[in-house]
Amino acid sequence: LQKVHVLPQTVLYIADAETFSGHEECHEQKKARKRNSKETAVALEKLLPKRCQVLGLVTPGIVVTPMGSSSNQPQEIEEGEAGFALLFPKIDGVKIHTFHFSKDLKNRVFDESKFAEAGLKNNPDLRVVLLFGYNSWKSGATRFLHQIVNPLNEKSIILAGGQVESFTSLTSENTSAQPGDACGVVGLAFSGPQIQSATVLLDQDVADERTAEAAMQRLKAASIPEHNTIGFMFACVGRGYRHYKTKRNMEADAFRKFFPNIPLFGFFGHGEIGCDRIVTGNFVLRECNDIKDDLLHGYTTVMTLIHLGSTK
């Protein structure tokens, strides 16, 4: 952070599982030992301001746009160690905050009053919610995710995200329950009247360059301003080069063709959250599908644009 002149208030960092569970040399025992994910998280978060909200995720693969690259070509990294961190400073007219809901083993019904406490209900400025389920293999995890997603499935809010392997952040709200003890949902909420956003869903039938680019054309048609905008890609681990017959980086390349100046970030996970949905500047929703939105998917990709308003 030595060259950072504007300190971050909110940080989202995502790394693949190999990065967080790799090996490091242990000098006392003269041999390599497996790193603990908490140790890696602590070391990383010590670099950030103490009052900074931090959300850290571990996923099977990463989508990242290297900001130091002159070409800024987004990359789908499905194997090997990789990660990124998005540092959000204070932005006039925009509020970004983290939230965390863990499954209560004693109660089958989720207490929806927690939504208001987290700023996800009774908040007229709420525009975008990025949701990430963890420990999806646990009993009751899918039902719990439905209990979180369904009440938030409003036409005026963009919902996007997916199932990750775990979360490592030590500064998320409500971290009394350790990630390994239960399943739950963490995320980021974006509030502010100037925020604009859109998502498109690439379903299983999108399996070649032509159909991938057609999905990006739908996203382009949303007319989201490209300046001060971030792209997110949440894809199934079953997609990528396996789905596109060994051709790598297909969806990231299709995104860049239509959005050459918007950086793209995201991950490969175990389930996707999202649909075709657009919230425009005058806050009028236009949908590509007339049927009831189904937000939980498998073997798909969700592409999302979030515009944070004009910069002075």
Q: Where are the domains of the chain?
A: 1-22+32-172+181-311
Report, as an integer, the average pLDDT of 6-24: 79
Cβ-proximal residues to 84 (8 Å cutoff; 6+ apart), any chain: 13, 14, 15, 62, 64, 265
Report, as an integer, the average pLDDT of 220-232: 93
Quote the pLDDT of residue 288: 46
Q: What percent of the chain has pLDDT over 70?
A: 82
Q: How far apart are CA 42 and CA 34, in angstroms?
A: 16
Would you give the DSSP letter of residue 225? -
Q: Is the dihedral of CA 65, 71, 77, 79 positive or negative?
A: negative
pLDDT at 224 over 90: yes
Q: How far apart are CA 199 and CA 295, in angstroms?
A: 11
Instruction: Specify the amino acid at residue 82.
Output: A
Cα–Cα separations (whole angstroms), residue 237 to 139, 165, 242, 299: 21, 12, 9, 8
Least confident of 73-87, 96-110, 132-146, 153-167: 96-110
Helices (H), 165-247: 209-220, 240-243
Q: What are phi and psi of 219, to 5 degrees?
A: -65, -40
Q: What are phi and psi of 256, to 5 degrees?
A: -65, -30
Report, as an integer, the average pLDDT of 47-61: 89
Report, as an integer, the average pLDDT of 126-145: 91
Give the pair of three-digit tokens for residue 124. 């007229």
The strand pairing partners of 53, in sequence order, are 10
Quote the pLDDT of residue 24: 46
Report, as an integer, the average pLDDT of 165-178: 62
Task: Mark 204-226 as b/e (b = at least 16 C-beta within 10 Å).
Answer: eebeeeeebbebbebbbebebee
Quote the pLDDT of residue 28: 47
Cα–Cα separations (whole angstroms), residue 172 to 178, 238, 246, 282: 11, 29, 38, 32
Report yes or no: 158 and 229 within 8 Å, Cβ to Cβ: no
Per-residue model confidence as pLDDT tens digits over 230-286? 999 999 999 988 888 878 999 999 999 999 999 999 999 999 999 888 765 544 444
Least confident of 7-21, 41-55, 281-295: 281-295
Task: Supply the mean pLDDT for the chain.
Answer: 83
Per-residue model confidence as pLDDT tens digits over 188-209? 999 999 999 999 999 999 989 9
Confidence of residue 3 (pLDDT cuts 50, 70, 90): low
Quote the pLDDT of residue 290: 47
Which pTM value belongs to this model?
0.87
Q: Which residue has the tokens 């971290």?
A: 175
Euclidean distance between the first and final Cα of the chain, in Å? 24
pLDDT at 292 over 60: no
pLDDT at 167 over 70: yes
Quote the pLDDT of residue 254: 96
Report, as an integer, the average pLDDT of 26-35: 48
Per-residue model confidence as pLDDT tens digits over 88-112? 999 999 999 999 998 877 777 788 8
Q: How far apart are CA 142 and CA 120, in angstroms?
A: 20
Report yes or no: 176 and 279 within 8 Å, Cβ to Cβ: no
Q: Is the dihedral of CA 131, 137, 142, 147 positive or negative?
A: negative
Cβ-proximal residues to 195 (8 Å cutoff; 6+ apart), any chain: 94, 127, 128, 306, 307, 308, 309
∠175-181-183 over CA atoms, to 5°? 80
Confidence of residue 56 (pLDDT cuts 50, 70, 90): very high
Confidence of residue 305 (pLDDT cuts 50, 70, 90): very high
> Nearest-CA neighbor of 132 among 88, 91, 170, 102?
102
